[in-house]
Amino acid sequence: MSALAQLQAALGPLVDTSEESRELARADRSGHAAAGRPIAVVHAETVEHVQQTLRIATATRTAVVVRGAGTGLAGAANAGEGEIVLSTLRMTAVKEIRPDDLLAVVEPGILNADLNDILGEHGLWWAPDPASRAISTVGGNIATGAGGLLCAKYGVVRDAVLGIDLVLPDGRLLHLGHRSVKGVTGLDLTSLVIGSEGTLGVVVGATLKLRRLVEGTTCTVTASFPGVVPAAASSAAVTAAGIQPAIMELMDAACVAAVFQYLSLPEPAAGTAQLTIQTDGPAAVADAEAIAKILHDHGGDVSVSHDHEEGERLLAIRRAMHPAMAALGTTLIEDVSVPRSAMPAMFHEIARIEKAYGVVIPTVAHAGDGNLHPNFIFEGTDVPDLIWAAADELFRAALALGGTLTGEHGIGVLKQRWLADELGEDQWELQRQITRVFDPLGILNPGKVFPADA
C-alpha cells in the first residue's frame, strides 16, 4: 500500500490532496518554490496525528516537510515532488499558563500575536517579536530560531524556550528541557532543536519562558538622516552609550521611499534614512531624551513621542517593510548579521556592491543587534545569476566583518552553498552527522540546510 493510501486509511479527512493545498505548500515567502508538488498535506490536530504520519513515512521511506504558516524566508518549509507535508497549523492550543512560574505550555500552530493577546489577560507576554508576528507561528519561530524587533533588549527565541516536545521520524515522542529556570542535566537538546529548521524532528509542543508586562510608559524616537551610514553610526553610538532601547530599527533611503509610497505617506526627501527607536519601562522618558541627544549630535532630524498609540503608528511604518518590498516585484529577503559596531562598514559594503552590480539593495536593520535584511528585487520566479552574484559578495562581506549568513531566517535551501564557508568543513560535517543521529533515513526536510545527497 502506498504512503498516500496508508495516510488516508489512518487519518481520513485530515489528508488533503487538493491541487490548491499542494500548490501552496511548494513555496514560502522567500520567492523560492520547490520542484513538483507534494503528494498530500496532512493537517495534524493532535500529537498522535503527527506520530501516525511519521510512522507511515518511516515505513514507506517517504520524505516529510513540516510546515506552519508558510511565512519563512529561506525555503525551509517548501515541499516538492513525492513528499508529505505535515502541517501543524491546526495545533493552536494554549495548554497551560503559570503566572507564578512565568511559563506557558503551547502547541506549535499558535500565532505570536494571538498568544500574546491571551497572555496579556494574565499580565504576561512572550518576548520574541518578529515583524511577521500577526501571521507567524510559535513552532515556526522555534524552527528558525527567530528574533524580531525586541530581541536586542528581550532576547530571541532561544532565550525564551524552556522545553520542547519533539516527535522523531520513527514516531517516538521526546520531552526535552525542563520547567525550572535552571537545568543543565545532560546535553542541551532543546537549544539544538531551536533553529534546526525541521531536520531533527517535529515540534509538537513548547514550554515557553514568559515575562511580566513591562510597567511604565513607552516613548518613541524617530530620526531622519541624509544617508544610511550616519544613521547606522548614530545607532552604534546609542549602543556604545550603554542605553538599552526596546526597539531600534533602521531603514535606508530605498526602504523609506518604498514604504512611504506603499502607505501613501508624504514623499520623503531624496536619500532620507530613518531610525525608529522605542524605549520602555520606568526609565523610558530619560532614555528617550538621552537617545534623542545622541541622534541630534550625529546629524539627525529628531522627534520624540510619549503617546503609545502614536508610537505604534510609527512602528507600523517599519512593520510594512515586507509588503512594501513585495509591491516592487519578487523579493529575495536576506538576513546577515554583523557586530553592531560594524554596521556602518556593512552599509558601505552594500553601497559598493550596488555600484559594482548596478542594482539597488533596499536594506532594513534591527540596529539594536546588528541584524540586516538586504532586499534584492527582481522580476519572475527564478533568482537571476546577477542577483546571486551580488548576494554572494554581500554574504562574504558580512563574514569578513565578523558576522554571519543568517541572524534569524535560517539556511533553508537558499543559503546551503555558503554554509561551509562560515562553519568550516569539519563543523559542517559534524552538524550533518548530528542530523543523521535524529533522522538516520534522511526523510525529514531533505535538501534543506544540508544537501539531500550529503
What is the distance, to the nearest Å, from the Cα of residue 37 to the centroid of all Cα atoms in its chain? 25
Share of the chain above pLDDT 70, in %: 100
Spatial contact of 107 and 205, defined as CB atoms under 8 Å apart: yes
Q: What is the mean pLDDT of the chain?
A: 95
pLDDT tens-digit profile of 190-237?
999 999 999 999 999 999 999 999 988 999 999 999 999 999 999 999
Q: Which residues contact 379 (CB under 8 A, 6 or more apart)?
A: 329, 330
Q: What is the CATH number of the domain that holds 190?
A: 3.30.465.10
Q: What is the pTM of this model?
A: 0.93
Q: What confidence score (pLDDT) does residue 381 get?
A: 74
> Which is more confidently placed, 333 or 172?
172
Q: What confidence score (pLDDT) does residue 83 get?
A: 98
Burial zone of 425 (CB within 10 Å; 0-12 exposed, 13-18 middle, 19+ buried): exposed
pLDDT tens-digit profile of 168-182?
999 999 999 999 999
The rounded distance, in Å, linking the Cα atoms of 177 and 286 is 39
* Cα dihedral 216, 218, 219, 223 in deg (nearest 10): 150
pLDDT tens-digit profile of 225-264?
999 999 999 999 999 999 999 999 999 999 999 999 999 9
35 and 171 co-located in one domain: no
241 and 387 co-located in one domain: yes
Q: Is the pLDDT of residue 443 over 90?
A: yes
Q: What is the mean pLDDT of residues 274-292?
A: 96
Query: Of 25-29, 99-103, 430-434, which gets the smallest average pLDDT?
Result: 25-29
374 and 311 co-located in one domain: yes
Q: What is the mean pLDDT of residues 421-444?
A: 97
275 and 386 co-located in one domain: yes
Q: What confidence score (pLDDT) does residue 8 get?
A: 97
Length of the chain: 454
Residue 53 placed within a domain: yes
77 and 131 co-located in one domain: no
| CA neighbor of 339 nearest in space, from 394, 399, 396, 403 | 403
Q: What is the CATH number of the domain that holds 313?
A: 3.40.462.10
Q: Is the pLDDT of residue 85 over 90?
A: yes
Q: What confidence score (pLDDT) does residue 453 get?
A: 64
Q: What is the mean pLDDT of residues 383-407?
A: 95
In order of 125, 180, 181, the CA distances from 102 in angstroms are 9, 10, 9
206 and 260 co-located in one domain: no
Share of the chain above pLDDT 90, in %: 89
Q: Is the pLDDT of residue 131 over 80?
A: no
pLDDT tens-digit profile of 304-325?
999 989 999 999 999 899 899 9
81 and 229 co-located in one domain: no
Residue 281 placed within a domain: yes
Query: Of 11-15, 65-69, 129-133, which gets the smallest average pLDDT?
Result: 129-133
Among 158, 180, 212, which residue terminates a domain?
A: 212
- HEC readout, the chain: CCHHHHHHHHHHHHEECCHHHHHHCCECCCCCECCCCCCEEEECCCHHHHHHHHHHHHHHCCCEEEECCCCCCCCCCCCCCCCEEEECCCCCCEEEEECCCCEEEECCCCEHHHHHHHHHCCCEECCCECCCCCCCEHHHHHHHCCCECCHHHHCCHHHCEEEEEEECCCCCEEEEECCCCCCCCCCCHHHHHCCCCCCCCEEEEEEEECEECCCCEEEEEEEEECCHHHHHHHHHHHHHCCCCCCEEEEECHHHHHHHHHHCCCCCCCCCCEEEEEEEEECCHHHHHHHHHHHHHHCCCEEEEECCHHHHHHHHHHHHCHHHHHHCCCEEEECCEECCHHHHHHHHHHHHHHHHHHCCCCCEEEECCCCEEEEEEEECCCCCCHHHHHHHHHHHHHHHHCCCECCCCCCCCCCCHHHHHHHHCHHHHHHHHHHHHHHCCCCCECCCCCCCCCC
380 and 285 co-located in one domain: yes
pLDDT interval class at 329 (50, 70, 90): confident
Q: What is the CATH number of the domain that holds 60?
A: 3.30.43.10
Among 87, 108, 135, which residue terminates a domain?
A: 87
222 and 331 co-located in one domain: yes
Domain that residue 271 falls in: 217-400
67 and 98 co-located in one domain: no
pLDDT interval class at 454 (50, 70, 90): very low
Q: What confidence score (pLDDT) does residue 436 get?
A: 96
Query: Of 37-46, 144-153, 437-446, which gets the smallest average pLDDT?
Result: 144-153
In order of 136, 154, 176, 195, 363, the CA distances from 203 in angstroms are 15, 23, 10, 11, 32
Q: Say how many domains are in the chain.
A: 3
206 and 255 co-located in one domain: no
The rounded distance, in Å, linking the Cα atoms of 332 and 415 is 12
C-alpha cell at 275: 531610525
The rounded distance, in Å, linking the Cα atoms of 21 and 343 is 41
Among 151, 183, 212, which residue terminates a domain?
A: 212
245 and 376 co-located in one domain: yes
In order of 67, 69, 165, 210, 454, the CA distances from 442 in angstroms are 17, 24, 20, 35, 10
